[in-house]
Each structure stands twice: as C-alpha cells, then as structure tokens.
Amino acid sequence: SQQGEEDPQALSIQEGENATMNCSYKTSINNLQWYRQNSGRGLVHLILIRSNEREKHSGRLRVTLDTSKKSSSLLITASRAADTASYFCATDTGGYQKVTFGTGTKLQVIP
C-alpha cells in the first residue's frame, strides 16, 4: 500500500487562482517534502516540513502538516501557467529510511 496519496489526482484552474493539493500518509514520519515534476523533466524539490512543524512558507507556496490526521496540504497562490506540472508529496521516517512518494497531483494552470 502507498505511504503517500495525493488528492485530487488532477486539478485544472485559471491563472491567478489558488491551487490546493492534499497528501495523506499512513505511518509516523520524520519529514514530509513536496516535489514538482514538469513534463519530461526531473523532480524539483519545493519544500520540506519537519514533523514538529505545522506550517511553512516559501514564496507563493504554503505547506501545512497535521500529524494527528497524517495529512499535509500544499497551497500555491496566484498560480501561473508555469506552475503546470505534477506535484508529489514524499515522506520519510528518519535515519536511513527511504523516501516514499505518493501518486501525485497533476495541476494544469490555464492562461
């Protein structure tokens, strides 16, 4: 079974709108990260939030983490066409434990 599952699987919005993606996971984690993958490109690290943090900001990105609900959300404000990509959450349990990815949310921002 998957550790991380993103919701929704696909999201289409108009440029300028906000996009919210959710991630749920099953086991206790050490860190949770969000990555972006543009079509045909590699994964780009967006933001890391530790298990003892509740919210983190980076530019137009806002990530929240609720360890009691085992969920995280990624908010992209004032979306741009260039934000069109697949977004993945990834969790780890610390130490040498591998990072586990979810299935991703495909975001389309329409100009």
Residues that bind other proteins (CB under 8 A): 2, 4, 30-31, 33, 35, 40-45, 48, 88, 90-104
Give me the least distance between CB of 101 and other proteins, in Å please: 4
Q: How wide is the angle at C-alpha 28 spanned by C-alphas 11 and 18, nearest 5°?
A: 20
Strands 10-14 and 105-110: parallel
Kindly tell me which of 24 and 91 has the beta carbon lying closer to other proteins: 91
Closest contact distance (angstroms) between CB of 56 and other proteins is 13
Task: Give the shortest CB-5-to-other proteins separation in angstroms.
Answer: 8
C-alpha 18/C-alpha 40 separation (Å) is 24
Q: Under a CB-based contact definition with an 8 Å cutoff, are residues 23 and 103 in contact?
A: no
Identity of residue 97: Q
CB closer to other proteins, 2 vs 18: 2
Closer residue to other proteins in complex, CB, 3/79: 3
